[in-house]
Amino acid sequence: MNAMNTLSADLLRARIAQHLTYTMGKDKAHASTYDWRMAVSYTVRDLIVDSWFEATRKTYEEQGKRVYYLSMEFLIGRILEDAVINLGLHEQIEEVLAEDGMSLMDVVENEPDAALGNGGLGRLAACFLESMSTLGCPAFGYGIRYEHGLFRQRFQGGRQVETPEDWLNQPHPWEFERPEACYTVPFKGHVDTRDGKATWHPAETVLARAYDTPVVGWQGKWSNTLRLWGAHPTELFDLERFNSGDHTAAAAPEALARTLSRVLYPEDTTDSGKELRLKQEYFLTSAALQDILRRFLSEYDDLSLLPQKVAIQMNDTHPALAGPELIRLLVDVHGLEWDRAKTIAQGCLNYTNHTLLPEALEKWSTWLMGRVLPRHMQIIERIDAEHHAATDCPPDLRIVHHDQVHMGTLAFVMASHVNGVSALHSDLMKQTVFADLDRAYPGRILNQTNGVTPRRWLKLSNPALSQVITETIGTGWEDDLDRLKELTEHDSPDLRAALRRAKRANKVAFGNWVQANMGLTLDPDAMFDVQIKRVHEYKRQLLNVFETIARWNAIRKNPGADWTPRVKIFGGKAAPGYFTAKEIIRLINDVAKVVNNDPLTRHLLQVVYPANYNVSMAQRLIPAADLSEQISTAGKEASGTGNMKFTMNGALTIGTLDGANVEIREHVGAENFFLFGMTADEVLERYRKPDHARSAIMASQELQDVLQMLAEGRFNPEEPTRYHGLLDHTWNHDPFLVASDFSAFLACQTKVDAAYADTDRWDGMVLRNIAGSGYFSSDRTIRGYMEQVWDAKSLLNR
């Protein structure tokens, strides 16, 4: 399994031509960009398959422990570009394509993003898959093959409009359909218990069929599998009904089954509580566990060995049915005793918590659970009774209380290890939501601070900076990111200038894209100030847009002053049913329209909000950012991963002491980070003040002016009352303390302006941010999971 970058352009040329002709059925004269993209994708996929087989063979040979990452979301983005970078084939393929007047960029951009996720949680899963392959950790990702990923966002009169996403509308060249890897997933019906043995008679069944995508690691040394389940009917067609002329009803079984893998739920951090969602979660979990047991039993015959050979990670509570399902399979199907089955299940399972927001901790009514999964409801009740007996916990600590099944508690009780995703978040888990469970099960909670893959988020997305890094510290940093520290030893005016040139080139490229797509001309010497993430009140895009308005006011009052020009860039989607978040989106767009048309200020302040933020847009935007906005209310953002990508790409952070910001600041140095706002403790204190919003507003003339302008409809004269609801919310509720942190934010932004104006100082800070970002490689995170959670070994070089 050697690096492949020695593959000659001749070989690639021949293989691409072969696929163009015989797979796509096109000759060069008539081939479209799509045909070329497919031919290149098949060629690259062929190259991955060898390392994939080799990795599987080695895992069987070494009887290694396998890791199974169960996640309802994998936000992968484009696959071809990532594979090309990891295999080191960039230059050769570029050369081959150029001969036919094509460019790799055109071909790459023809690929739709695989958007099987909402945001951070799904993107983290994608980074983890890549790092597990890079580290040679034998692993499977298990998810759902949604036909429609996250919706497309358009703006209509500034409002978010959602349209369905359609990535599977065309052949997907990266997957292998596995008709033989197929499991029956049961639902509903009733349970008979005779002589202590339960038999579930389901009323509905659906088939889960596997679709495998190889995930290649850095330099192609190892590949793991992302196995996504597609739902298919057990009974394809009701022929009797068809023959009697009822053609629609005849197709009903198929339509019903397929709804299970049809759409990704677009809610992020909210509990939707829908039956279909519960069925999706069980569909994933059951298919994955049946597959895991089948594979295990093909190698071993003693189920007690399961915890030694299998580690299962539950990515949030979404796959938390894994506990009861594994017990069910072991007891009802494989005939194990309850106690033994439960011990084995607990030995395999681990749970990652991604948020402390109460609305995100899933709960299902016992009525729904009992109806959809009657056998699981029984098992959950028994787990709960034993949990109660062992810990003597109060009622609100039980898995089932107030007629609801608390999935966080279930996941916690059934897991060997429970982890948070940043040091602060893991501490807060112990102090707040999971405090009692932590006491009942001491030592179970640990921390694994998130990370991101530097292959996609630096090497691929930022070739200009990558080149500067390689020229300065040599090669090899891509899978040893701590080496970025060496940059500080080379600090010099030349290096700073090189970093600045790379950043400017990225800003020019992004400006060209904005020009082409939005018709706006950006000044590449202005500070690019970027906030991209899901739109959510706790992330406080509202704070940022209030500051934007205050800045506009200040410039208008004194246009001749020495302003630092800024481009405020926003990106992100709101959950379709999240009213306040959608209001915030509309406000940003309304403000942009007015500010961008002000001849007095537009050379000093612009507001840009490109629609449909996704992984590919992030790859364009992050390398072009000067300032990264990480301004959530302290204690609310579990970690953040965008914050890490910005740091790696030489943007400075303005941020609160929240999530992984805390650790980023430690690694880059407090003097290289713009800190503002209340701490998590101060936030709790502030909530106790009954008129916290009003008193903060009264203390800031700038904020009063902003709110007054919204009251008057300054940005929406056609409907002046549009933001009165948002205003009322801010004055009287302000649940995420926008008003209370406003003055500190404004003051900190002034410091940012001054720092940016001092080019040399800024460049030095940029250097220290990049140099300090090595810790945030997902390779470090995965090593942590392998050692402390999974007890799994790398099989590379063995």
Minimum separation from the CB atom of position 406 to ligand CJB (A): 16
* 593 a catalytic residue: no
Collapse the DSSP code of 190 into the 3-class scheme (helix H, G, I; strand E, B; otherwise coil) and give the result: strand
223 versus 355: smaller Cβ distance to ligand CJB: 355
75 versus 383: smaller Cβ distance to ligand CJB: 75
Two structure tokens written together for 383? 């787990």
Two structure tokens written together for 29? 């004269």
Minimum separation from the CB atom of position 349 to ligand CJB (A): 18
Which residue in the list 65, 444, 539, 586 is annotated as catalytic? 539
Single out the residue of 121, 216, 329, 706 in contact with ligand CJB (rule: CB under 6 A): 121
- 59 makes contact with ligand CJB (CB under 6 A): no
- Residues in the interface with ligand CJB (CB under 6 A) total 18
158 versus 572: smaller Cβ distance to ligand CJB: 572
Question: With the CA atoms of 120, 125, 131 and 133 taken in that order, what torsion angle do they form, in degrees rounded to the nearest 10?
Answer: -160
Which positions ≥6 away from 446 have C-beta within 8 Å? 417, 418, 419, 426, 788, 789
Q: Which of these segments, 342-350, 634-642, 708-716, 766-774, binds ligand CJB (CB under 6 A)?
A: 634-642
Single out the residue of 450, 616, 716, 769 in contact with ligand CJB (rule: CB under 6 A): 450
217 versus 420: smaller Cβ distance to ligand CJB: 420
User: Are the C-beta atoms of 665 and 644 separated by less than 8 Å?
Assistant: no
Minimum separation from the CB atom of position 130 to ligand CJB (A): 15
- 659 makes contact with ligand CJB (CB under 6 A): yes
Minimum separation from the CB atom of position 533 to ligand CJB (A): 9
Q: Which of these segments, 120-128, 303-311, 547-555, 752-760, binds ligand CJB (CB under 6 A)?
A: 120-128
Closest-CB residue for ligand CJB?
120
Q: Which of these segments, 55-63, 639-647, 680-688, 737-745, binds ligand CJB (CB under 6 A)?
A: 639-647
Separation between Cα atoms, residue 458 and residue 456, nearest integer Å? 6
Query: Which residue type, as a one-letter code, is found at position 698?
Result: M
Single out the residue of 384, 479, 590, 637 in contact with ligand CJB (rule: CB under 6 A): 637
- 662 makes contact with ligand CJB (CB under 6 A): no
- 782 makes contact with ligand CJB (CB under 6 A): no
Minimum separation from the CB atom of position 674 to ligand CJB (A): 20
Cα-based distances in Å from 130 to 140, 347, 787: 11, 25, 18
Single out the residue of 107, 264, 322, 638 in contact with ligand CJB (rule: CB under 6 A): 638
* 724 a catalytic residue: no
Cα-based distances in Å from 319 to 27, 68, 399, 648, 710: 47, 12, 15, 32, 43
Single out the residue of 639, 661, 730, 777 in contact with ligand CJB (rule: CB under 6 A): 639
Which residue in the list 485, 534, 665, 722 is annotated as catalytic? 534
Map tokens 């020019």 to a residue.
Answer: 508
The one-character DSSP state at 332 is I
* 425 a catalytic residue: no
346 versus 449: smaller Cβ distance to ligand CJB: 449
Query: Which residue type, as a one-letter code, is found at position 150?
Result: L
Two structure tokens written together for 250? 């005849």
Separation between Cα atoms, residue 784 and residue 35, nearest integer Å? 42
Q: Which of residues 246-305 bind ligand CJB (CB under 6 A)?
A: 268-269
Separation between Cα atoms, residue 652 and residue 667, nearest integer Å? 13
Which residue in the list 568, 645, 665, 722 is annotated as catalytic? 645
Separation between Cα atoms, residue 775 and residue 781, nearest integer Å? 9
- 421 makes contact with ligand CJB (CB under 6 A): yes
120 versus 323: smaller Cβ distance to ligand CJB: 120
Minimum separation from the CB atom of position 534 to ligand CJB (A): 7
Which residue in the list 409, 641, 647, 781 is annotated as catalytic? 641
Cα-based distances in Å from 452 to 70, 274, 473: 18, 32, 21
Minimum separation from the CB atom of position 118 to ligand CJB (A): 6
Minimum separation from the CB atom of position 76 to ligand CJB (A): 15
Q: Which of these segments, 118-126, 325-333, 592-600, 609-617, binds ligand CJB (CB under 6 A)?
A: 118-126
- 124 makes contact with ligand CJB (CB under 6 A): yes
Single out the residue of 307, 623, 640, 764 in contact with ligand CJB (rule: CB under 6 A): 640
Two structure tokens written together for 18? 């072969």
Q: Which of these segments, 119-127, 234-242, 293-301, 464-472, binds ligand CJB (CB under 6 A)?
A: 119-127
Lay out the site mask for ligand CJB across 352-371 (x = CB under 6 A, - = otherwise): --xx----x-----------
Separation between Cα atoms, residue 480 and residue 623, nearest integer Å? 20
Separation between Cα atoms, residue 751 and residue 449, nearest integer Å? 29
119 versus 173: smaller Cβ distance to ligand CJB: 119
* 533 a catalytic residue: yes
Separation between Cα atoms, residue 227 and residue 310, nearest integer Å? 16
HSE-CB at 721 with a 13 A cutoff on CA atoms is 0
Minimum separation from the CB atom of position 569 to ligand CJB (A): 20
Element (H, E) at 704: helix 701-712
220 versus 420: smaller Cβ distance to ligand CJB: 420
Cα-based distances in Å from 195 to 373, 374, 452, 780: 21, 18, 52, 51
Q: Which of these segments, 503-511, 635-643, 683-691, 693-701, binds ligand CJB (CB under 6 A)?
A: 635-643
- 548 makes contact with ligand CJB (CB under 6 A): no
532 versus 765: smaller Cβ distance to ligand CJB: 532
Separation between Cα atoms, residue 320 and residue 409, nearest integer Å? 9
Collapse the DSSP code of 572 into the 3-class scheme (helix H, G, I; strand E, B; otherwise coil) and give the result: coil
Nearest partner of 557 among 606, 601, 605, judged by Cα: 601
Q: Which of these segments, 113-121, 246-254, 600-608, 741-749, binds ligand CJB (CB under 6 A)?
A: 113-121
Cα-based distances in Å from 668 to 134, 206, 325, 481, 769: 25, 51, 44, 14, 5
Separation between Cα atoms, residue 462 and residue 646, nearest integer Å? 11
* 354 a catalytic residue: yes
360 versus 433: smaller Cβ distance to ligand CJB: 360
Q: Which of these segments, 437-445, 492-500, 636-644, 766-774, binds ligand CJB (CB under 6 A)?
A: 636-644
User: Are the C-beta atoms of 321 and 368 separated by less than 8 Å?
Assistant: no
CA angle 434, 439, 443 (to 5 degrees): 90
Which positions ≥6 away from 357 have C-beta within 8 Å? 269, 538, 636
Which residue in the list 318, 328, 533, 667 is annotated as catalytic? 533
- 641 makes contact with ligand CJB (CB under 6 A): yes
The one-character DSSP state at 264 is -
Map tokens 């301004």 to a residue.
Answer: 631
Cα-based distances in Å from 591 to 2, 549, 709, 723: 54, 8, 11, 12
Element (H, E) at 726: helix 724-732
Q: Which of these segments, 115-123, 198-206, 585-593, 702-710, binds ligand CJB (CB under 6 A)?
A: 115-123
| Strand boundaries in 164-203, DSSP class E | 176-187, 190-194, 197-201
377 versus 660: smaller Cβ distance to ligand CJB: 660
Using N-to-C axis directions, what is the helix angle for 759-771 and 493-518, rounded to 10°? Answer: 90
Cβ atoms within 10 Å, residue 671: 9
Minimum separation from the CB atom of position 110 to ligand CJB (A): 28
Minimum separation from the CB atom of position 325 to ligand CJB (A): 21
261 versus 661: smaller Cβ distance to ligand CJB: 661
Minimum separation from the CB atom of position 639 to ligand CJB (A): 4
* 641 a catalytic residue: yes
3-state secondary structure 527-560: EEEEEECCCCHHHCHHHHHHHHHHHHHHHHHCCC
User: Given the rule CB under 6 A, which residues bind ligand CJB?
Assistant: 118-121, 124, 268-269, 354-355, 360, 421, 450, 637-641, 659
Annotated catalytic residues are: 354, 533-534, 539, 641, 645
